[in-house]
Each structure stands twice: as C-alpha cells, then as structure tokens.
Amino acid sequence: MTNLVEKYREMKKRGEKVTALTAYDYPTARLLDESGIDIILVGDSLGMVVLGYEDTTSVSLDEMLHHTRAVARGVKSALVVGDMPIHTFEKPAQAVATAKQFINAGAQAVKLEGGVSHAAHIEAITDAGIPYMAHIGMLPQHVREQGGYKVKGKTQSEAEALIADARAVEKAGAFSVVLEIVVPEIAKQITHAISIPTIGIGSGEQCDGQILVTHDLIGLFPWFTPKFVSPEARVADEIRRAACAFIERTRGASAVSKRPGV
C-alpha cells in the first residue's frame, strides 16, 4: 500500500502524467494493458455502457465483481482498480468488507465516491492495506438527488469544499484522486494543493492525469457522448458496417443458391 502511494507521489513530482481508462471485459482490458495504460478502472459506468441501465445507481456488487474477474484475467502490467457500487460502503466496516471482495476478485485497488464525508471509510480501507483511489467532484452515484451531471466548483463555497475533500482523501491514504467535471481553475488549485496525483475527467488539462470511459474514447456508445470527450475512433460505425456486410453477404449467398442450376 505504502509503495503504491509513494509511486504515484513520485510520478507527480516528476511531472509524469497518469493515464487511466475503463474496461469491463477480458479483450478490452488486454488491449488496454498491451497499449501501456497505467490504470484500468472497472467502473460502475458499466451500468450504462454495458448493462443498459439509466445510470450507475442500479449496478450491483455481484455485477461489479463479475466484470472485475474478467478484466483481471486480461491484465499483466496495469493497475486494476475496482469501483465500489452504491450502497456497498455505508459504514467503514462494510467498506472494508466490500474492498476485500474486489481484491479477491483480482483488483489491486478500489475506488469509492466521496471526500470529507467518507474519510473514515477511506482510512479503514487503507488501514487494511488495500490501495485506494479517491473520487470527488461530480459523483455519478448521486446523480438523481443532484438533478443531473453538473459542473462542480462554480461557487466559492463549492470550491472550498472540493479542496477540503481533496485534502481529506490525501490524509486518509489515497494514492490518487479522480476529479470529475470540476471547473478547470479549481481542478488546477486542487492539483497544487495536494501531493497525490489528480486524475481529471472533464476537469481540464491541468490535472496530473486523465481518465475516460473507454466506450466514449473509441465511439462504442454512440447514443450519448459527454461534451468533454473527443472520440479517437468510431467503433460503433465499424460494427454496424461489419454487421451490414455480413447480412448482405449471407442473404446474397442465399439468393444465389436458389437460382436454377445452382
């Protein structure tokens, strides 16, 4: 645990950017690992981009563990982080028990959403020797009560609360912290205020690293793409093209076989 915290602090000191992407299955995890990614997050975003739920609040622990096992089978070098789903870390003791299940499933670290409010939970996890990645800013598991995916840090009070969250997770033993949809200037302030890397998603380029949902990066979920994402590929278009070609080839072969003399 200590070695991992120090490793990422040293990366920050050297100005070495942390790269992170999500994966939910064996082939994607293996491809990302072979590409040299630093961190692979088995995110509860799988609820939307894999399982078809409206948001992450319907994802179960069993589903997360199932996908974590698949990802772990494909990874040799990257750090595999398991995302703890909603209602699995209500109390510190439950948080530790859930984290241990992720480790047993093949994850090497865990992530849960929350800052100051979950400092005791984070401390319990890190005290148990389990590496922990923090997540503050926009918290997808609270999307319904917050009324959507909204940028955080727009007001002075929000900015101060975010900085307090960042310092709290650092003190509790986190090796890094995800900043989701935080005003870039505030993300920059947080980055300078703590010694562990900030890993941004929709929070500007001044963070110590970046994370994205792989489906967004490669255009595999075309029905919704976050405003802050510029897809590097259009995999959905290729799947449609390949499927259409297969359908045409198969139907064409069938038509030929019905011709007289064939």
State how far the alpha carbon of 92 is from the alpha carbons of 5, 35, 125, in Å: 21, 36, 8
Q: Evaluate whether the domain defined by 2-231 bears CATH number 3.20.20.60.
A: yes
Question: Is the CA virtual torsion 234, 239, 245, 251 positive or negative?
Answer: negative
Catalytic residue among 34, 160, 180, 185: 180
Measuring CA to CA, which residue among 83, 139, 88 is closest to residue 110?
A: 83
Residue range 60-91, pLDDT digits in tens: 999 999 999 999 999 999 999 999 999 999 99
In the predicted model, is pLDDT for residue 24 greater than 50? Answer: yes
Question: What is the predicted pLDDT for the residue at 254?
Answer: 60
Residue range 108-164, pLDDT digits in tens: 999 999 999 999 999 999 999 999 999 999 999 998 877 778 899 999 999 999 999
137 vs 180: CA distance, rounded Å: 5
Please say if 205 is a catalytic residue.
no
**CB neighbours of residue 225 within 10 Å:** 15
State how far the alpha carbon of 161 is from the alpha carbons of 165, 210, 247, in Å: 6, 22, 55
Question: What is the predicted pLDDT for the residue at 144?
Answer: 82
The amino acid present at 194, given as its one-letter code, is: I
Report which secondary-structure segment, H or E, holds 97. helix 92-104
